[in-house]
Amino acid sequence: MNETAARRRGALARFWRDYRAQRTGLYGAAILAVFVLLALVTPLVTDPSGLDVTKATGPKMAPPSAEFPLGTDESGRSILLMILWGSRVSLLIGFLAALLSMVIGTVTGITAGHFRGWSSAVLMRITDWFLVLPSLVLALVLAAILGGGTSTIILAIGVTSWAATARLIRAQTLAVEARPYVERSRVLGAGHWHVMTRHVLPNVAPLVLANTTLTVASAIVTESTLAFLGADAGQASWGSMLRGSYDWGAVTSGAWWYVLPPGLCIVAVVLAFTFCGRALEAVLNPRLRGVA
């Protein structure tokens, strides 16, 4: 047991050494660390009552000033405060939706890759169906039918974004199961569950990790788009702020402080996740080494 732990520690150290060599990956991780930290300390240092329209104290649609560093919105709320609290909603939905998508995608992928015959065919048929459909349109319909709320949005994004992951995992599962040691294990009497969880899962896990990082990025974009198109979680996220800026004419009246910050935050976080995901892919996938 001790030996295993040492081996794992060694692998982790090697992983970190390789990851450190990816400059953009490090930038991405740094940006993410800043945003996550801000999201975590926001409830400790700011007062959420400023988010309440009825308790807002500032002037309406005011440009940045000393008191409101990023200006105010149509009802006098501080944009900075909304950005900080919005980061919690956007990041939470992004993470949980990606997690849900990853779980569905991995389970489907491994199952479809492990079992042959009609069950695999049916699963792949469903996967292809989800892959083809415009996922945003489906997510919008789901959110509209199930009604607002954070969990609805997470469900809508997660259920519509797992298909690509499932495809990827299935291909990897097929590759892993063709290896001799899996055959050996099967000959020794290993069941389906043992092969899938002890041999396939650990081997596809790195791929799942890299893929999930990229999925978080697209989940955050999807969340903001859904919020802009009217399916929001009922709490101020970056996307619903942009909805507000559009509804209240900030775009046409030149109130840039209402339009730029939420969008820049989305782009920064999404780019950071993309950088991390690509760096992870480059480290974990030897074929990409030296190419990207």
Question: What is the phi-psi region of residue 20: left when phi exceeds 0, alpha when psi lies from -120 to 50, beta otherwise?
Answer: alpha
Q: Tell which residue, 10, 16, 8, has the closest CA to residue 284.
A: 16
Among 42, 75, 150, 225, binds other proteins (CB under 8 A): 225
Among 61, 97, 266, 280, binds other proteins (CB under 8 A): 266
260/211 Cα distance (integer angstroms): 29
214/210 Cα distance (integer angstroms): 7
Distance of CA 59 to the CA centre of its chain: 36
Residue 145 contacts other proteins per CB under 8 A: yes
Residue 175 contacts other proteins per CB under 8 A: no
Among 12, 13, 41, 141, binds other proteins (CB under 8 A): 141
Residue 242 contacts other proteins per CB under 8 A: yes
Q: Tell which residue, 14, 41, 19, 42, has the closest CA to residue 30.
A: 19
Residue 16 contacts other proteins per CB under 8 A: no
Whats the size of the chain, residue-wise? 292
Q: Is 16 exposed, middle or buried (0-12, 13-18, 19+ CB in 10 A)?
A: exposed
Q: Tell which residue, 217, 133, 127, has the closest CA to residue 170.
A: 127
Among 17, 23, 125, 194, binds other proteins (CB under 8 A): 125
Give every CB contact of residue 159 below 8 A, 6+ residues apart in sequence: 100, 101, 104, 139, 142
Residue 245 contacts other proteins per CB under 8 A: yes
Choose one: 30-38, 195-203, 204-212, 222-230; the region binding other proteins (CB under 8 A). 222-230
> At 72, is the secondary structure helix, strand, or coil?
strand
**Least distance (Å) between residue 231 CB and other proteins:** 7
Residue 31 contacts other proteins per CB under 8 A: no
Distance of CA 246 to the CA centre of its chain: 25
Residue 291 contacts other proteins per CB under 8 A: yes
**Least distance (Å) between residue 106 CB and other proteins:** 16
In terms of CB distance, is 200 or 272 closer to other proteins? 272
Choose one: 47-55, 61-69, 83-91, 138-146; the region binding other proteins (CB under 8 A). 138-146
Among 2, 4, 54, 252, binds other proteins (CB under 8 A): 252
Among 217, 276, 279, 283, binds other proteins (CB under 8 A): 217
Q: Tell which residue, 149, 167, 162, 159, has the closest CA to residue 227.
A: 149
Residue 91 contacts other proteins per CB under 8 A: no
Choose one: 71-79, 85-93, 167-175, 190-198; the region binding other proteins (CB under 8 A). 167-175
Residue 128 contacts other proteins per CB under 8 A: yes
Beta-ladder partners of 78: 72
Residues forming contacts to other proteins in the complex (CB under 8 A) are 125, 128-129, 131-138, 140-142, 144-147, 164, 167-168, 171, 217, 221, 224-225, 228-231, 239, 242, 245-246, 251-254, 256, 259, 263, 266-267, 270-271, 274, 287, 290-291
